[in-house]
Amino acid sequence: MQEEITFETRLYEIVDLTSEIERIVEKSRVKCGIVNIFAPHATGILIVGENEPRIGRDYIALMERMAPRGIGWAHDEIDDNAHAHLRSVLFGASLCIPIRDGKLALGTWQRVMFIETDRSRKRRVIVSVIPC
């Protein structure tokens, strides 16, 4: 089973997708398997982490330290967003999460989140549920 989630973002917004993914897994009726979440964007990030505002600021600060904006990246000559591309490569645009007993096998504080590293735009995430 495969579905798509679409949403609008703002720069550095962290979008919690967990509830939508849980709904898709429940709808699939898969009891044991894997859910693959993929963002088909060159400047978006998917993470599993805690959804708390202070750690959210820390996620952004870490990205800014690892791939700062405006330091002369070659791609900036094209459209001035090399930092966003580099952050996506460093952190990733896909996740695989086990399904156990029909539910995402996440830890207590873990959530599935999309982080916008570029400008405001419409985004989509493809969710594929794969049975054991």
> pLDDT tens across 18-41, in order?
999 999 999 999 999 999 999 999
| Closest by Cα among 123, 114, 110, 119 to 94 | 114
| Closest by Cα among 107, 131, 128 to 5 | 128
Confidence of residue 66 (pLDDT cuts 50, 70, 90): very high
List the CATH number of the domain containing 51: 2.60.120.460
Q: Residue 9: pLDDT above 90?
A: yes
3-class DSSP state of 78: helix
Residues for the chain: how many in total?
A: 132
Domain span holding position 91: 2-131
At residue 130, the pLDDT reads 98
Any idea which of 24-28, 31-35, 54-58, 72-76 has the lowest mean pLDDT?
Answer: 72-76
At residue 108, the pLDDT reads 97
The helix (H) or strand (E) run that includes residue 42 is none
At residue 70, the pLDDT reads 87
Q: What percent of the chain has pLDDT over 70?
A: 100
At residue 126, the pLDDT reads 98
CA 57 to chain CA centroid, Å, is: 16
What distance in Å separates the CA atoms of residue 81 and residue 78, rounded to the nearest whole number? Answer: 8
Q: pTM of the entire structure?
A: 0.94
How many structural domains comprise the chain?
1
In this structure, what token pair is assigned to residue 87? Answer: 């952050």
